[in-house]
A = this chain, B = another copy of it.
Amino acid sequence: MFHFTAIVTCLALAFYFFTSFQVGKARATFGVKAPAITGNPDFERMFRVQMNTLEWLPIFLPSLWLFAIYISDPIAAAIGVVWIAGRVLYMTGYSQAAEKRGRGFGIQALAAGVLWVGALVAIVTRLIHG
C-alpha cells in the first residue's frame, strides 16, 4: 500500500482547496463579482495562484503516484511535501507581488521534475529488464 503518498495527496488537495477559498475571499475583499476574473490586480494575483496550482496538479499528482508505485512510497511522499512547501512559498510571495513568485515556483517545479524524471527512468528500466 501507499499510505504516505495517499496522505500527501490529501494534503496537496487541502492546500489547493485553500487557494480556491482565498480567491473567494479576495472576490469579497476587492469587490470583483463573479463571473468576472479581472478588474483588480490584487484579486488577479490570488486568482493566478489558484490557477497555477490547478495547472500543476495534473503534472504533480500522476508523477507522484508513478514515482511511488515504481520507486518508493515514503520517498515519493517526502518529495511531495517539498512540492507543497514550494507551493506555499509561491502563494505567499505572489500574493504580495508578481515579482516575488519566483523562488517558490522554482522549488515546486524542481520537486515535480524529480518525481517525473524518477518515474520515467524507473518505468523504462522496468520495461527493458522485464
Q: How far is the CA of A126 from the CA of B5 in the complex (A)?
A: 13
Give the B-binding residues of A (Cβ under 8 A): 1, 3-4, 6-7, 9-10, 13-14, 16-17, 20, 33-38, 41, 44-45, 47-48, 50, 54-55, 57-59, 61-63, 66, 70, 94, 98, 101, 116, 119-120, 123-124, 126-127
- Smallest distance from the beta carbon of A11 to chain B beta carbons, Å? 9
A35 touches B47 (CB 8 A): yes
A126 touches B55 (CB 8 A): no
In the A-B complex, the 5 residue pairs with the closest CB atoms: A35-B48, A35-B44, A57-B58, A10-B120, A3-B127
Q: How far is the CA of A17 from the CA of B76 in the complex (A)?
A: 20
A20 touches B58 (CB 8 A): no
- Smallest distance from the beta carbon of A87 to chain B beta carbons, Å? 13
A1 touches B55 (CB 8 A): no
B58 touches A3 (CB 8 A): no
- Smallest distance from the beta carbon of A111 to chain B beta carbons, Å? 14
- Smallest distance from the beta carbon of A77 to chain B beta carbons, Å? 11
Task: List B contacts of A59 (CB < 8 A).
Answer: 13, 16-17
Q: How far is the CA of A34 from the CA of B33 in the complex (A)?
A: 21
A10 touches B66 (CB 8 A): yes
